[in-house]
Amino acid sequence: MSEHQGKALRYVVTATLPSQEVFEAYVKWLTDEGHAQAVIDGGASNAEVIVLDGDGFRVQTSYTFADREAYAGYEATAAPALRADGVARFGGVAGVAFSRTLGPVVFSLGGA
């Protein structure tokens, strides 16, 4: 058994967007149009949408899952349709790029 097995898992999607208009549409999709809530409904325990400082338009969305099994359930059920929706909305827009990272939460202190 891995030393991190059974620990909360953090799934982070970082979007790089080409313009203010696309940035606003993306944040609206995550928040007002319910994408982040749909990931929670699919198994995440929380979601945070963060506008990153610096040049350009970058948004980081962080989801926490109880463990790898909860994330695997999300991947098998909700993720395909949610990702397809994101591709349909933003995949054909020049300059849009996504990166995903995944890893165990090994330490957390305090609240938000």
Cross-strand bridge partners of residue 11:
63, 102
Distance CA 98, CA 101 (A): 10
- pLDDT per position as a tens digit, 52-79: 999 899 999 999 999 999 999 999 999 9
Rg (CA), the chain: 15
Q: What is the pLDDT of residue 97?
A: 95
Q: Which residue has the tokens 């994330």?
A: 71
- CATH fold group of domain 9-103: Alpha-Beta Plaits (3.30.70)
Q: What is the pLDDT of residue 78?
A: 97
- Which residues of the chain have a pLDDT value below 50? 1
- Parse the chain into domains and list their residue ranges: 9-103
Q: CA 27, 108, 29: angle at the middle one, nearest 5? A: 10
Distance CA 47, CA 95 (A): 25
If 0-12 CB within 10 Å is exposed, 13-18 middle and 19+ buried, where does residue 42 land? buried
Q: What is the pLDDT of residue 110?
A: 84
